[in-house]
Amino acid sequence: MWLRNAMISKACRSLAVLALAGTLGGCFQPMYGQSTLFGAGAKLRDEMRQVEVLEIQGRVGQEIRNDLIFELTGGQGNPVGAPYKLAMTITSGSQTPLVDVTSGRATSETVVLDVTYRVLDVANDRVVLTEKALARISLDRSQQRYAAIRAVRDAQNRAAKLVAQQIRSRLASYFLTRT
């Protein structure tokens, strides 16, 4: 008797979970897809192509800018005179959390990249979005000088790509939810 009631209870719970999943399944849709509700995917791609990424100083800043232009336009170039302008402020550095006690040299390093960005609506001359994107990339330090320099540069490039993807995602959510 007890076993039968437990099996019925388990079946009811499974049925309730399936019913809930079925009702919520239609609520989720891709942001960039062609077949989104009311054609939002194509409209979103067009709006994201209307963001001009302003110049920024430094090698890491240029990496972020290039990655972001590619993320927003799909490789079609930076739209000059666009209705939106994106300005960034970059803070970068590194931390050495692990140090070898015998040699006193760092055995690992963390590349730190903080980007504060603002999106300006040119027509209304006002800032419509201010956010911050962060990246922390760890790497192993080598005793070879060139290998250590190259590892830091690769970590900075990975951090720049990560920050560009974060900014693109936040811009996509802004363009989808604005009224």
Residue 12 has what pLDDT? 74
- Summarised one tens digit per residue, pLDDT across range 102-151 is 877 777 889 999 999 999 999 998 999 999 999 999 988 888 889 889 99
Instruction: Please report, for the chain, the start and end positions of each structural domain, with discontinuous segments joined by +.
Output: 53-177
Extract the tokens encoding 104.
């006193």
The Cα–Cα gap between 148 and 89 comes to 27
In which residue ranges of the chain is pLDDT below 50?
Answer: 35-38
Residue 37 has what pLDDT? 46
Residue 2 has what pLDDT? 60
| Predicted TM-score of the model (pTM) | 0.74
CATH superfamily for 53-177 is Lipoprotein like domain (3.30.160.150)
